[in-house]
Homo-oligomer: A and B are copies of this chain.
Amino acid sequence: MVKERLVSHEIHLKQRPVGMPTEDNFQLVKVNIPDLKDGEFLVRNIWMSVDPYMRGRMREIRSYISPFQIGEPLEGGCIGQIIKSNNDRFTVGDYVLGNLGWREYWLSDGSGSDVMKIDPNLAPIQWYLGILGLTGLTAYVGLLKIAQLVDNSNSTIFVSAAAGAVGSVACQIAKIKGCRVIGSAGSQEKVKWLLDQAKVDHAFNYKEVGEGNISAELGKSCPGRIDIYFDNVGGKHLEAAIDNMKTFGRIVLCGMISQYNLTSTPTGPSNLFLAVPNRLKLQGFIVRDHYNMLNEFYVDMSKWIGEGKIKWRETVIEGIENAPKAFLSLFKGENIGKMLVKIGF
């Protein structure tokens, strides 16, 4: 009797991108899933996350996380369901959060270190990749831990890429904490979403304003200057924020999407010297250093969602074969909120 093999489609890194990645940098590969050994279980992915930070892993550089390897599958947050199991602790039908996205199926060794069970009755399962996952936690840590934002703050906060996954949550947490919130985004549709749904106090389309005029735009919209800048963009946005920071202002360096695909040497903020007279603090962070805040994050975020204080938006692309396209679209600003790939149906 010929045993039928389970075939999984995966996305491999074909070559390291130079500058803006293209679909040619990726390859759709068919692999056979081996039989399960004792203790192992098989996960069928349903959702996967694509995030700007993944661009960094496509470079071969020293970083906090090992680079992706050419000819190997990419990795990233995913939500799946267990469809076979040789492990008593993990049952067929369980939903799990893992880090082996960019593929249809994967085997866990069953040690439990690579998965977290999630409850599909509490929230839509894909939320554990976003508002109830690392995306939400990133915004939460950036504001509450790095920028030390407190309750009933009268701070003015500026968020760039404000209609993106992390930015949109940062805006709304800041509103909950009593801040005046200004957001920048790259389209009129995003600006409208920020004003109508995220309820920010002011939003502008930086493409319409012009990158050279962001500083003047902030000068007008933040006459009392900025207490906290939540930076997702870097470049001209960061420079404009530095121009407009209040004395003792804090700049949270969460990401610099404007810099990830440059082929020439980036130009740093020309006005960084203002950090001395204005006593500015700029601090970079990575969410995985702050998993000790997960419990309080779940408590707060569940409460805020229950109270209708957080609007959450997803942009969904379907099919594992379209995962590279979804990733590339992040750099074209085609997503509002969290960009997700739906794999299983």
Q: Which listed residue (B56, B280, B284) contacts A275, Cβ 8 A?
A: B284
Whole-angstrom distance between the Cβ of A325 and the nearest chain B Cβ: 25
Residue of B nearest to A239 (CB): B268
Considering only residues 230-251 of chain A, those with a C-beta below 8 Å from chain B are: 234, 238-239, 247
Number of chain copies forming the complex: 2
A281 surroundings in chain B (CB, below 8 A): 281-284
CB contacts (< 8 Å) of A273 on chain B: these are 234, 256, 259, 266
Using A259-B273, A268-B267, A273-B259 as known contacts, say yes or no to A282 and B279 having CB atoms under 8 A apart.
no
Please tell me which one of the listed residues B56, B253, B277 contacts residue A56 in the complex, with CB atoms under 8 A apart. Answer: B277
A278 at the interface (CB under 8 A from B): yes
Contact present for B268 and A275 (CB under 8 Å): no
How many angstroms from the CA of A267 to the CA of B267 in the assembled complex?
7
Inter-chain contact B283/A280, CB cutoff 8 Å: yes
Q: Is the CB of A271 within 8 A of B270?
A: no
**Closest B residue to A259 using CB positions:** B273
Which B residues touch A292, using CB under 8 A? Answer: none
Distance A289 CA – B276 CA, assembled complex (angstroms) = 12
Would you call A123 an interface residue if the criterion is a C-beta within 8 Å of the partner chain's C-beta atoms? Answer: no
A269 in the interface (beta carbon within 8 A): yes
- Which among A56, A64, A271, A284 has the greatest number of chain B C-beta atoms within 10 A? A284
Q: Considering only CB atoms, which chain B residue lies closest to A276 in the complex? A: B284
Query: Which of B253, B265, B279 sits near A270, CB closer than 8 Å?
Result: B265
Contact (A268, B277) CB under 8 Å given A247-B64, A282-B282: no
Beta-carbon nearest neighbor of A250 in chain B: B283
**Inter-chain contacts of A280 with B (CB < 8 A):** 283-284
